[in-house]
Amino acid sequence: MKKHNLAVILHEPDIPQNTGNIIRLCANTGAELHLVKPLGWGGMNDSKLRRAGLDYHEYTNLVIHENWARCFEYFRGRTIWAVETGSSVFHTEVSYTSNDVLLFGSETRGLPDSILTQLGMQNVIRLPMQISQRSLNLSNSVAIAIYEAWRQIRFIGGV
C-alpha cells in the first residue's frame, strides 16, 4: 500500500487531552506526530494523555524533540506550514504535497514570532472562523488541517 509522509508538529503543547486526541487522529490518518519540548504535563505516561489517546499510541509514529532547533533540522528540505490566526491565507488556498508538515503552537501561546519569521509568512496559513472569535481547540484545528492536506493528496494509504 502506498504511504504518505504528512507530519504534524505540536510546538510546546500544554493540554495532555488535546495531544492524546491528536495521537489518535494521526494514527487514523497515517501522519507522523512530532512534539517539541517542553510539554505542559508530566510525560508520555500521563493518565489524561493516555485516556484521550485510547490504545492508539502504538499505531502512531511519535517523535519527541528537545527543542525547536532540533525539530526544524529534522524537517530540513520539507515544506512546513505554520497554522496561526494571523495569516490572511486560508488552509484550503495552498497546494499540499505528500511530504508536507503542519505546525501548530501551544494552546495558550500559539507560535512564537521567531518561528513565524524563520518559516516566512508565505508558509503561514489559517483556519477560517467567525470574526468575533479568538481560536479553535487545538485537536480540532489539527483535524481540519490534516484532513485537507490528506484530501489534496487523494487520501494516500486510506480506505
- Binding-site residues for S-adenosyl-L-methionine, please? 83, 105, 127, 135
DSSP H or E run through 74: helix 68-74
Sheet holding 101-104, edge to edge: 62-65, 32-36, 7-11, 101-104, 80-83, 124-125
Q: Which residues are annotated as a binding site?
A: 83, 105, 127, 135
DSSP H or E run through 70: helix 68-74
* Rounded Cα gap, residues 118 and 69, in angstroms: 11
